[in-house]
């Protein structure tokens, strides 16, 4: 049964983790001289009447040459899995298709992964684009290459003091007068608002396009990762040279 690229990617992490653990254990073992040391002692009394003592021995528990072989075996698996993935990545390609249109043809997996990251950043950018105030009615103005509202005319007023006689003057008392201010029209403002923001319709269209392309890139990556791979055997060559 043929192996697919996505299967190799799935096992790569586990193989890498096991290789790291085995290499660490081998390194730690070789740092313990007692495991590498052995001894054999026999006792012979000076004369026949002397005390007889049993022989003593300690076996070598760790052999560096065997550690090298075990290390080569573990790392060979890692080297082979990684080589199989990297060789396959050179061949695994797929079209990025949106609404039946090929946007990018025969795209390699590494570039599809790059696109996914960039499109995620682009989506965040597009979602933050400024939108025209929905409370206003906007039209495009060719002369400024911006959006503008209809002209609105407003009255400019000025406060003018007025006298209000609360009590007429008498022989004994002066008139009681209260001053108040009256808004009197003095002119007119004509206002047109301009904006460089975008209509909500345009922003929604851009978000939709990015989403479609994101989906297409994911589909393409899945398709590319389903490419059948040829197992690479490079570990034996590497460690045959290194530890041979």
**Domain contains 169:** yes
Q: What is the pLDDT of residue 1?
A: 65
Q: Report yes or no on 174 lying in a domain.
A: yes
* Residues 54, 41: Cα–Cα separation, whole Å: 9
Residue 97 in any domain: the answer is no
Are residues 78 and 8 part of one domain? yes
Pairing of strands 39-41, 56-58: antiparallel
The answer as to whether 12 is a domain residue is: yes
* Mean pLDDT for the stretch of residues 83-88: 92
Among 54, 73, 91, the domain boundary falls at 91
Assess if residue 72 is contained within a domain. Answer: yes
Give phi and psi for 205, each to the nearest 5.
-65, -40
Q: Residue 178 belongs to what domain range?
A: 151-191
Same-domain pairing of 81 and 155: no
The pLDDT score that the predictor gives to residue 163 is 83
Question: Which one of 43, 70, 91 terminates a domain?
Answer: 91
pTM of the model: 0.68
Mean pLDDT, rounded, for 177-204: 93
31-55 tens-digit pLDDT:
888 888 888 999 888 888 888 889 8
- How far is CA 138 from each of CA 19, 117, 168, 196, rounded to the nearest angstrom? 64, 35, 58, 11
Domain assignment present for 52: yes
Mean of the pLDDT values across residues 9-26? 92
> Is position 98 within any domain?
no
pLDDT the model gives residue 60: 80
Q: Are residues 87 and 170 in the same domain?
A: no
Check whether residue 12 and residue 85 sit in a common domain: yes
88 Cβ contact partners less than 8 Å away, ≥ 6 residues apart: 5, 8, 227, 229, 230
Same domain, 86 and 164: no
Out of 44, 59, 91, a domain closes at 91
Mean pLDDT for 178-194 is 93
For the chain, the average pLDDT equals 91
In a domain, 135, yes or no: no
pLDDT 10s digits, 201-222 = 999 999 999 999 999 999 999 9
Q: Report the pLDDT value the prediction gives residue 116, as an integer from 0 to 100.
A: 96
pLDDT at 48: 82
Looking at the structure of the chain, the number of domains it has is: 2
Same-domain check for residues 2 and 87: yes
How far apart CA 94 and CA 88 sit, in angstroms, is 13
Question: Residue 30: its pLDDT value, please?
Answer: 86
């Amino acid at each position: 049964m043929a192996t697919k690229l996505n299967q190799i990617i799935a096992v790569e992490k586990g193989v890498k983790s096991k290789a790291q653990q085995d290499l660490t254990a081998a390194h730690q073992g070789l740092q313990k001289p007692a495991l590498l040391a052995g001894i054999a002692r026999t006792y012979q009394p000076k004369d026949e009447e002397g005390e007889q003592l049993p022989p003593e021995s300690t076996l070598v528990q760790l052999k560096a040459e065997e550690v090298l072989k075990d290390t080569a075996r573990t790392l060979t698996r890692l080297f082979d899995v990684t080589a199989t993935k990297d060789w396959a990545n050179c061949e695994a390609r797929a079209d990025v298709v949106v609404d039946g249109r090929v946007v990018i043809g025969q795209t390699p997996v590494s570039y599809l992964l790059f696109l996914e990251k960039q499109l995620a950043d682009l989506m965040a950018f597009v979602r933050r684009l400024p939108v025209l105030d929905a409370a206003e009615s906007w039209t495009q103005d060719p002369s400024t290459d911006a959006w503008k509202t209809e002209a609105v005319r407003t009255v400019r007023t000025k406060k003018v003091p007025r006298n209000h006689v609360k009590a007429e003057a008498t022989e004994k008392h002066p008139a009681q007068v209260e001053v108040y201010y009256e808004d009197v029209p003095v002119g007119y403002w004509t206002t047109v608002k301009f904006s460089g923001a975008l209509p909500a319709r345009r922003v929604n269209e851009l978000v939709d396009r990015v989403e479609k392309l994101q989906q297409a890139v994911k589909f393409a990556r899945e398709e590319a990762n389903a490419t059948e791979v040829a197992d690479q055997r490079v570990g034996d060559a590497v460690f045959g040279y290194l530890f041979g």
